[in-house]
Amino acid sequence: MLTDKFHAVLNYEGVVSVVTWTPVEPHITNTWNSYLTVTDDERILIPAAGFTHAEKDLAQNDQVLLTVGARDVEGRDGYQGTGFRLTGTAKFVDSGAEFEQVKAKYPFIRKVLEVTPTSAKQLL
């Protein structure tokens, strides 16, 4: 599901928006493309130092939206830049091999946000 173009975007810095929501309101948290780790089975691991509001939302609703983009990756029809919108489910992880792997790279984290995409759409 995660195409070569998606992986190319992650090779360049850009803002990642993570959207969570409850019946009360939506919430957006941001991070950087370079912080994302894609596993062999296409889960996305995101180091979380904060993300406390998102954690509260995900306790009620495990659905998540992510956007990623990079101006340096050519989009459709020669467009300068491209981006993706992913939908999926997410949970926070604070133990295990993958948590330790991410924490070794980013010692400031308290948890890892694990996103399991169910769709990925190139936007540009």
pLDDT tens profile 14-41: 999 999 999 999 999 999 999 999 999 9
Q: What's the mean per-residue pLDDT of the chain?
A: 97
Q: Which residues of the chain have pLDDT under 50?
A: none
Contact in structure between 116 and 90 (CB atoms under 8 Å)? yes
Which residues touch 119 (CB under 8 Å, ≥6 apart)?
A: 1, 86, 87, 88
| pLDDT at site 92 | 98
CATH superfamily of this structure's domain 4-92+107-122: Electron Transport, Fmn-binding Protein; Chain A (2.30.110.10)
